[in-house]
Amino acid sequence: MAYGFMIEMWGDRALFTRPEFSVERMSYDVITPSAARGIIESVFWHPGLLYRIDRIHVLNPIRFTNVRRNEVKSKALGSSLRSAASGTAPLPYINTKEDIQQRASTILTGVHYVVEAHFDMTDKAVEADNPGKFCEMLKRRLRKGQCYSQPYLGTREFPAFVKEWNPNKPVSVCEENRGERDLGFMLYDMDYSDPRNIVPMFYRAVMRDGVIDVAGSEVHR
């Protein structure tokens, strides 16, 4: 049995990076389902449940701005970490003074969403686990502002604010988001079923009167 809920998410800035841009960062027009799932998991996560995003309500107009951000050009390689763990190589590190570089980023400003989601029980749930308990735990943490880690909107320097949305309260969107708007293919999530071959999944995001029906969209691999 799936338990549904609605969560309000907002922040001053957001960056949901498009994977097709390898150097300069360019944000999607709206939050991705995987980013929304990550925000929910930062509030409450348990191996016995799996969150699924149903709909995304875009309350504010979609606005972009350009900034320059300090980043590092190197990456920590998994092979280097495995060699260090086995004792055949020294522990790798990144020297930020040597690897730092400025990159231009096109980010979103003034984002505000209401996300409809539900969770399914997984085979990792034990006999004492039940959907009703998990649903109440999630809602209680939302009401108290509790989280396991700071929720963020795409990148960690853009914090997200979250709270429970009353399902009996209507969701109003701005006039600019009325009508139909095709946002193109967006990242849906990553398929981790095979750890040796992690596959990205995409879906065609169409916003109708400020609402993106994620559950009703076809997912492409």
22 φ/ψ angles, rounded to the nearest 5 degrees: -85, -20
pLDDT band at 196 (very low <50, low <70, confident <90, very high): confident
Q: Is the pLDDT of residue 1 over 50?
A: no
Cα dihedral 37/220/203/36 (nearest 10): 10
Residues 6+ apart with CB under 8 A from 45: 148
Tell how strand 25-26 and strand 219-220 pair up: unpaired
Q: Could you report the per-residue pLDDT of 19-50, keeping only the tens digit for each?
A: 887 678 899 999 999 999 999 999 999 998 99
Q: Could you report the per-residue pLDDT of 46-77, keeping only the tens digit for each?
A: 998 999 999 999 999 999 999 988 888 777 77
Q: Could you report the per-residue pLDDT of 70-114, keeping only the tens digit for each?
A: 888 777 777 887 888 888 888 887 877 778 888 889 999 999 999
Predicted TM-score (pTM) of this structure: 0.87
Find residue 25's DSSP bridge partners. Answer: 105
Cβ pair 16, 154 in contact under 8 A:
yes
Cα angle, residue 50 at apex, residues 48 and 54 outer, rounded to 5°? 155
